[in-house]
Amino acid sequence: MNYLKHIGKYFIMLKQVFRKPQKWSVFREVLFREIEDLGLKSMGIIMFISFFVGGVVAIQTAMNIESPFIPKYLIGFAAKRSMILEFAPTFMSIILAGKVGSYIASSIGTMRVTEQIDALEVMGINSLNYLILPKIIAALFFYPLLILLAMFLGILGGYYAGILTDLFYSEDYIYGIQLDFDPYYIKYALTKTVVFAFVIATIPAYHGYYVKGGSLEVGRASTQAVVWTSIVIILLNYFLTQMILG
């Protein structure tokens, strides 16, 4: 019953979030700040992890292909499919849930315990709309771009892994990337990313907004936000894969 209570409270929160902003000039300024905080500042870790994950996928695939009858171009094919279908949209979203989710929960939670949110309410400002809607729009706008970048860098990482290790030829790898390319898979990955971006922006915001207590509770709320965001992403990944690719 406690879980049902939180789910209901979460959807009631969303109803307040999606009301019309009171001042578009203020909203626009906050939105650009959120794009920088949630998107631009996450580019470094996404670029670093995706490049090396792509390299590891390519190396492990090459090391597991022992039979001379299996063509080497399947390494590029496997790296492309792995990065586009799962590693970029799902794995990187979980990374973002940890980095961005904890930031959102802790920043809003700190505002709650220091009574800044109460001050916004006293001034007649819809605090949910003011604090959370810019984060949602920033995530929905920027995270698909981050995931596209992760796909490209992951595949590029596999290419350079082949050059550095001599486990496979770069020509075979490029042929494997081009083999049986289906743009629908990118559409599928971006659809998942948009759903995950919404989850990353709203679940941590919920935990931060309704936190009670002091700094210790804010820390606990941040941890819970990351855990629950990751769980929801994994569950949604299962159902979205069944619905879109099934």
Average pLDDT, the chain: 88
Residue 8 belongs to a domain: no
For the CA atoms of the chain, what is the radius of gyration? Answer: 21
Q: What DSSP character marks residue 22?
A: S
pLDDT digits (tens, 9 = 90+) for 5-61: 888 988 998 888 888 777 777 788 888 888 888 888 889 999 999 999 999 988 888
pLDDT digits (tens, 9 = 90+) for 187-202: 999 999 999 999 999 9
pLDDT of residue 1: 63
Name which residue leads in pLDDT, 76 or 226: 226
Give the domain range for residue 59.
23-245
DSSP H helical ranges for the chain: 2-17, 24-34, 43-64, 73-82, 92-113, 116-122, 127-165, 170-178, 183-209, 215-245
Q: Stretch 131-138: mean pLDDT, rounded?
A: 91
Residue 115 belongs to a domain: yes
Instruction: Evaluate if residue 2 carries a pLDDT over 90.
Output: no
Residue 15 belongs to a domain: no
pLDDT digits (tens, 9 = 90+) for 94-129: 999 999 999 999 999 999 988 888 888 888 888 888
Residue 49 belongs to a domain: yes
pLDDT of residue 16: 86
pLDDT of residue 180: 80
> Considering its fold, how many domains does the chain have in total?
1
- Contact criterion met (CB below 8 Å) for 198 and 136: yes
Residue 4 belongs to a domain: no
Residue 54 belongs to a domain: yes
Residue 34 belongs to a domain: yes
- Contact criterion met (CB below 8 Å) for 16 and 117: no
Q: Burial, 3: exposed, middle or buried (Cβ in 10 Å; 0-12, 13-18, 19+)?
A: exposed
Instruction: Evaluate if residue 147 carries a pLDDT over 90.
Output: yes
Task: Return the percentage of the chain with pLDDT > 70, whole number.
Answer: 99
pLDDT of residue 229: 94
Task: Give CA angle at 180 (176, 186), nearest 5°.
Answer: 100
- Contact criterion met (CB below 8 Å) for 229 and 97: yes
Q: What DSSP character marks residue 210?
A: T
CA–CA dist 212, 113 (Å, integer) = 7
pLDDT of residue 139: 92
| Burial track 112-143 (b if 16+ CB lie within 10 A, e otherwise) | bbeeebeebeeeebbbbbbbbbbbbbbbbbbb
Cα of first residue to Cα of last residue in the chain, in angstroms, is 32
Residue 126 belongs to a domain: yes
